[in-house]
Chain A
């Protein structure tokens, strides 16, 4: 039973620069990386495959066009997860991918996954957008069951038992493979690869394929801006008691308290 781990080439949001005056986000300047929760998905895939003795492969569909810089970053992100113990990686990249919406990406990924894998592991949400839509959409394209927010996964023959963490309770479900499962950060603690594993990871098979759009996107982003937060800029002066009283009053007026 081969496992696919979905790894997104996410923006490193910590390094995202924003023009405070215009709200413009310098997306092209920001580096990209594999998302943190995808490291949890990778860890889970490696644990499962160690038990089951099958292959676990990272699948990345880069939505950054075909620039050299993004290609290098994509390969670095894949090296990171390969170093954790995956057996290989597939990188789908090319012109037109940047226009893809979740629907297009899910369809393209389904084409890659169908017939090759029986279990798909993904993060509950990506590092940058965190819409959490893709795994569900992919499951729909594949016609497979989808289990979200997994905190534990056990394989039982041709079934998997998944513990799901929901708001007020925990749910244990059993699904027949093939299936798509999204994991949360609680599921495990991703291993930190050693230097020698990173060196070896660079030599693992990385299959790069050209992206060919399976369909027209249904959704297009028109603008992307940081919302302007207007500060009230109220300064309260006076002695401590006065200030406290006025502050409480002001907070009440704003409906904060």
Chain B
């Protein structure tokens, strides 16, 4: 008999949700986390869309350590020291919250523990334990073997579990983005003043422009209760083709973003509390990742469930939804006593009728996001056109149409390709 019904590798949101659901069904669950504590190694920009976690914990925000509910969405274009911000003050369908992962992930892991899962932190898992072509457990550090009926790989973007089990190919740098983030402490009142918030309201602000020097990516600011999360995300492939050292470039671009006049005023007087950087899966789900094999399923970032639509950046909500689907499939497999790939394929079936559809749509958006003009020409034209519109200097003024046309031709974009780009954007978003 196996040591546990289920071993979950990684206590991030996906790992903890799967652990919680399976422990609640009465299965014996061991969750192994490599970080000192759940959440210690994890990072994201700053916002969780709540739809998927609500299915597991209705109204979780009343209990969970969330920071603010996002009610202000800002899309910004930066060019030189100028900038344009589009501010939406409304509540789009579906709630979203800013939060800090160190606290939030710990809360989720405690939920799993309270439900009966054994959560062990500070322990490294080397890979899946494979016998006769079937995953039968894990190999922990020190070559220790631990058996389970089913293993859930929730070990994040670089998932060695998935790779060693042959569920995904060795990925290349094209498949990843890299994010750098600072948490800057500011008094509550200052945050509310600067971002136009009241009470528990929060802002999510995304920026594109020449700060990334043509690299596919952008900057972000999310407001927490008494701090703001600020940083940049860039495609590694795109970045590597332009700079010699990625870490230095990340640091320089973060600094440049923070010192832009439009951004600086949000951060002034703040105190740096935390600095982190992390790798983000970008397109791998579409690149031949398999979600299950005999005795194992892959969830969350490990399966590449991360999507960047430009105006919305998502990963954690997908991670949670994938974990919920996986838990359902694993539960049924355990009940039926059949944990083969065929039985676990139910996991993909559940996802196919819901979450995976969004990925089909996302693929189109990801293609659009590859267009480097979105990070250079478009922000420039947006900023300069509005600058032109608001310019009054007593001289006869060129019409906005002819100005914009000139701008496009300066950027080497024909009117037709501009229309095509616009059309693509409308269709894919």
A residues apposed to B, CB below 8 Å: 17, 19, 31, 192, 194-196, 198-199, 202
B123 within 8 A of A: yes
A195:B37 contact, CB within 8 angstroms? no
Chain B neighbourhood of A202, CB < 8 A: 118
Q: How large is the interface on B (under 10, 10 to 19, 20 to 34, 35 or more residues)?
A: 10 to 19
CB-based contact B123/A196 at 8 Å = no
Apart from A17-B273, A195-B140, A196-B146, what 12 extra A-B contacts exist at CB < 8 Å? Answer: A19-B271, A31-B36, A31-B37, A192-B142, A194-B144, A195-B32, A195-B120, A195-B123, A195-B144, A196-B3, A199-B30, A199-B118
Chain B residues with CB under 8 A of A198? 120, 123
Contact of A194 among B30, B118, B142 (CB under 8 A): B142
Residues from chain A with a CB closer than 8 A to the CB of B3 are 196
A-B contact pairs, 13 of them (CB 8 A): A17-B273, A194-B140, A194-B142, A195-B120, A195-B123, A195-B140, A196-B3, A196-B144, A198-B120, A199-B30, A199-B118, A199-B120, A202-B118
Minimum distance in angstroms from B148 CB to a CB of chain A = 12
Smallest CB-CB separation from A12: which chain B residue? B36
Interface-central residue, A17, A192, A194, by most chain B CB under 10 Å: A194
Interface positions of B from 74 to 91, Cβ below 8 Å from A: none
Q: How many angstroms between the C-alpha atoms of A102 and B375 in the bound complex?
A: 62
User: How far does the Cβ of B58 sit from chain A's closest Cβ, in whole Å?
Assistant: 23
Chain B binding surface, main DSSP class: strand
Q: How far is the CA of A192 from the CA of B141 in the complex (A)?
A: 10
Please, which residues of chain A bring their CB within 8 A of the CB of B120?
195, 198-199
Closest to B3 in A: A196
Residue ID in chain A nearest B138 by CB atoms: A195
Complex: A37 Cα to B3 Cα, angstroms: 33
Least CB distance from A14 to B in Å reads 10
B73 to chain A, nearest CB (A): 31
List B contacts of A19 (CB < 8 A).
Answer: 271
Chain B, residue nearest A19 (CB): B271
Residue of B nearest to A80 (CB): B122
CB distance from A138 to the nearest CB of B (A): 30
In the bound complex, what is the Cα–Cα distance between A194 and B142 (angstroms)?
A: 8
Closest A residue by C-beta to B121: A76
Give the residue name and chain of the B residue nearest to A15 (CB): B36
Q: Report the bound CA distance from A175 to B80 in whole Å.
A: 77
User: In the complex, A17→B140 CA distance in Å?
Assistant: 32
CB-contacts of B236-295 with A (<8 A): 271, 273
Residues of A within 8 A of B123 (CB): 195, 198
**CA–CA, A192 and B140, complex, Å:** 13
When distances are taken between beta carbons in the complex, the residues of chain B under 8 Å from A196 are 3, 144, 146
A202 CA to B119 CA, complexed, in Å: 10
| Interchain CA distance A124-B357 in the complex, whole Å | 61
A186 to chain B, nearest CB (A): 24
Nearest CB in chain A: distance from B90 CB, A: 36
Rounded to whole angstroms, the CA-CA distance of A192 and B142 in the bound complex is: 9
**Smallest CB–CB gap between B39 and chain A, Å?**
12
Separation of A194 and B36 alpha carbons in the complex (Å): 16
**Complex formed: what's the CA distance from A192 to B201 in Å?**
47
Q: Min CB distance, A197 to chain B, in Å? A: 9
Quote the shortest CB–CB distance from B115 to chain A (angstroms). Answer: 15
Report the bound CA distance from A120 to B48 in whole Å: 50
User: Which residue of A is nearest B142, CB measured?
Assistant: A194
* Distance of A80 from chain B, by nearest CB (Å): 9
- Contacting A at CB under 8 A, from B290-323, are none
In the assembled complex, the Cα of A184 lies from the Cα of B395 at a distance in Å of 84
1/0 per residue, CB under 8 A from A, across B141-162: the answer is 0101010000000000000000
Within the complex, the shortest CB–CB distance from A224 to chain B, in Å, comes to 20
Closest to A14 in B: B36
User: A131 vs B3: C-alpha distance in the bound complex, in angstroms?
Assistant: 44
Contacting residues, chain B, for A31 (C-beta < 8 A):
36-37
CA distance in complex: A31, B118 (Å) = 20
Considering the chains assembled together, what is the distance between the CA atoms of A198 and B141 in angstroms? Answer: 13
A-side contacts of B140, CB under 8 Å: 194-195
- A198's closest neighbor in chain B, by CB? B120
| CB-defined contacts of B142 to chain A, threshold 8 Å | 192, 194
CA distance A202 to B116 in the complex (A): 12
Docked Cα-Cα span, A83 to B140, in Å, equals 16
A198 to B144, CA, bound (A): 12
Interface residues as binary, B406-423 with A (CB distance below 8 Å gives 1, 0 otherwise): 000000000000000000
Q: Closest chain A residue to B140 by CB distance?
A: A195
